[in-house]
Amino acid sequence: MKGLKIKKSNTPNNKYATVISQNHQLYLISVNESSGNHQVMAEISGQMAYSISSVEQYPVVGDRVEVSYSENDDVAIIHRILPRKSLLSRASSGVGQGVQPIAANVDTVFITMALDHNFNLRRMERYLTIVWDSGAQPVIVLTKAGLTTDLENQLAQVSEIALGVTTFVTSDSDFSEIANFLTQNPQTVVFVGSSGVGKSTLINRLLGYEAMATSENRESDSKGRHTTTNRQLFSLANGTQIIDTPGMRELQVDTGDSSATFADIEELATRCKFRNCTHKSEPGCAIIEAVDTGKLSAERFANYLKISRENRYSRMNTTEIAADKFRRHFGGKSGAKAVRDIKKGKRLN
């Protein structure tokens, strides 16, 4: 992925740095110097701020940036973002509200989900869609294995929707698979998941010290309080960099391609009798047949349709969204029937 289109600075004293923490538009960066890495606060330059036209052009945790800085400065100035190899982002809350970048230059995204009330295959599909679109590789991390009595069935369910994706199972006393994975493959990773699934606890174990605050879940619904409020980056001795993120209450996809997440449904669609099949009621629809025969779960297909619709809506303005809802709600109805529905107060959704 490309960075900002700003002319490269010719200042010989400029240095390169990595964004390791972000709080609004104030950044903590690690500056690469001959004497080692040095941490300092930073902000973007006036020229860079003037050139920015979208939220994706602001630095995020994991970004490599060019900065001007000397040891006498209290704050470094960020002049440009170096080209990104990946950008993990999600749609901002509310339709048509744009994109919220999460982290940059990530190799692997650990999709973290607890094996308790938090276990949700539909949410996992959303995470997979976002990760595949980012340019990073997804890995499933199932935490709190001691709280489930149905592990074998849950693993089978995960393997059905996370086709070919590596899956790790961890407990409070055993996180060795992830530790070995990071030891053998130094890289930049990010942990994502809902609050209370154990991301911070797992990161503390990997780091070997209490870097992250943790909290207990409510027993009634397995929901935890937000203990991570900012995105931040930590380093292991072998060079692996770990990024933690706040728990995500809402998870909408942006303009990403969901075909990798729903490869089985995309393949079924190629077998439909009609090329423009909408998979609603057409004869010869391979997807409807798969649902009817139990080869494809109705819940997975419904989530596929919902995420595809969100992808489409994210590219529309408010007027286009309203028109699309009207067509879906009143398609094939007479004008009189449409008016009666409106009078009855039926919603467009």
Residue with the two structure tokens 């629809």: 285
- Residue 272 marked in a binding site: yes
Query: DSSP readout, 129-163?
Result: HHHHHHTSEEEEEEE-GGG-S-HHHHHHHHHHHST
> In angstroms, how far is CA 237 from the centroid of its own chain?
26
- Residue 193 marked in a binding site: yes
Phi/psi for 284 (5° steps) reads 80, 15
Contact 207, 242 (CB under 8 A): yes
- Residue 117 marked in a binding site: no
Residue with the two structure tokens 């919220």: 100
Partners of residue 17 on adjacent β-strands: 31, 65
Residue with the two structure tokens 């930049």: 188
Phi/psi for 244 (5° steps) reads -100, 155
- Residue 199 marked in a binding site: yes
- Residue 197 marked in a binding site: yes
Residue with the two structure tokens 């728990």: 247
Phi/psi for 208 (5° steps) reads 85, 10
- Residue 79 marked in a binding site: no
- Identity of the residue numbered 341: D
CB atoms within 10 A of CB 235: 15
Phi/psi for 33 (5° steps) reads -130, 160
Beta strands at 241-244 and 26-33: parallel, antiparallel or unpaired: unpaired
- Residue 94 marked in a binding site: no
- In this structure, what token pair is assigned to residue 271? 């077998």
Q: How far apart are CA 137 and CA 305, in angstroms?
A: 23
Residues in the chain: 349
Partners of residue 90 on adjacent β-strands: 100
All residues at 6 or more sequence positions from 46 whose CB lies less than 8 Å from its CB, including other chains:
none
Positions at the binding site: 193-201, 272, 277, 279, 285
Summarize the annotated binding site for Zn(2+) as residue ranges.
272, 277, 279, 285
Q: What residue numbers does the annotated binding site for GTP cover?
A: 193-201
